[in-house]
């Protein structure tokens, strides 16, 4: 079994074997939550001049809630709408793989660096999207990546629509859901 640091690095390297390992290790859920919360702190630090100190405290909570919601939506879309021939996944597996897929977000703290910080955000965002596709592919035991991309896109549209409707209804939805 790989160490926590090895898992974080493996996830950043987009190693399918890392996502497969955390998928099957029920004890890795806490580790995945730590990754998600740490990314929230990193984002809070990076954007401290916009959110203040409270952003450093609230970002991890928002990130954890978004992680749970995203995991649930991706699980439903992947197992009910687009199941593969080998798909057999549960919420824990999706939480673990999706949590580790956010590991590259730790570099988001570099957005605070003057002049070049703005370059970090799109790079980290794209990196995390690719990691999410790998995580979904492994969690749902898909044979091809295209199906994982489709599941991610459909789930994103669903989450966007729910957020939009909630906003129109006056229900405050802060933070991203994906």
Q: Which carries the bigger pLDDT value, residue 1 or residue 88?
A: 88
155-163's contacts with Cβ under 8 Å and 24+ in sequence apart are 155/70, 155/73, 155/74, 155/77, 155/78, 158/73, 158/77, 159/69, 159/70, 159/73
Q: Tell me: the pLDDT tens digits for 140-165?
A: 999 999 999 999 999 999 999 988 88
**Cα separation, 177 vs 152, whole angstroms:** 12
| Cβ-contact 99, 32 below 8 angstroms | yes
Q: Tell me: the pLDDT tens digits for 20-49?
A: 999 999 999 999 999 999 999 999 998 877
How many CB atoms neighbour CB 167 within 10 A? Answer: 11
Q: Tell me: the pLDDT tens digits for 103-144?
A: 999 999 999 898 888 899 999 999 999 999 999 999 999 999
**Cα separation, 93 vs 97, whole angstroms:** 6
The 3-class SS string of the chain reads: CCCHHHHHHHHHCCCHHHHHHHHHCCCHHHHHHHHHHHHHHHHHHHCHHHHHHHHHHHHHHHHHHHHHHHHHHHHHHHHHHCCCCCCCCCHHHHHHHHHHHCHHHHHHHHHHCCCCHHHHHHHHHHHHHHHHHHHHHHHCCCCCHHHHHHHHHHHHHHHHHHHHHHHHCCCCCCCCCC
């Amino acid at each position: 079994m790989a160490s926590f640091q090895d898992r974080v690095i493996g996830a950043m390297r987009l190693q399918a074997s890392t996502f497969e390992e955390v998928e099957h290790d029920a004890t890795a859920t806490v580790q995945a939550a730590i990754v998600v919360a740490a990314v929230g702190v990193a984002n809070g630090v990076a954007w401290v001049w916009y959110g203040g100190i409270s952003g450093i405290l609230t970002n991890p909570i928002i990130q954890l809630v978004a992680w749970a919601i995203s995991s649930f939506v991706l699980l439903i879309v992947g197992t009910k709408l687009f199941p593969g021939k080998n798909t057999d996944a549960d919420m824990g597996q999706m939480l673990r793989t999706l949590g580790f897929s956010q590991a590259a977000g730790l570099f988001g703290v570099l957005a605070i660096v003057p002049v070049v910080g703005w370059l970090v955000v799109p790079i980290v965002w794209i990196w995390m999207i690719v990691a999410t596709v790998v995580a979904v592919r492994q969690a749902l035991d898909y044979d091809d990546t295209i199906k994982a991309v489709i599941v991610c896109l459909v789930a994103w549209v669903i989450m966007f629509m729910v957020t939009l409707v909630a906003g129109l209804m006056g229900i405050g939805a802060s933070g991203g859901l994906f």
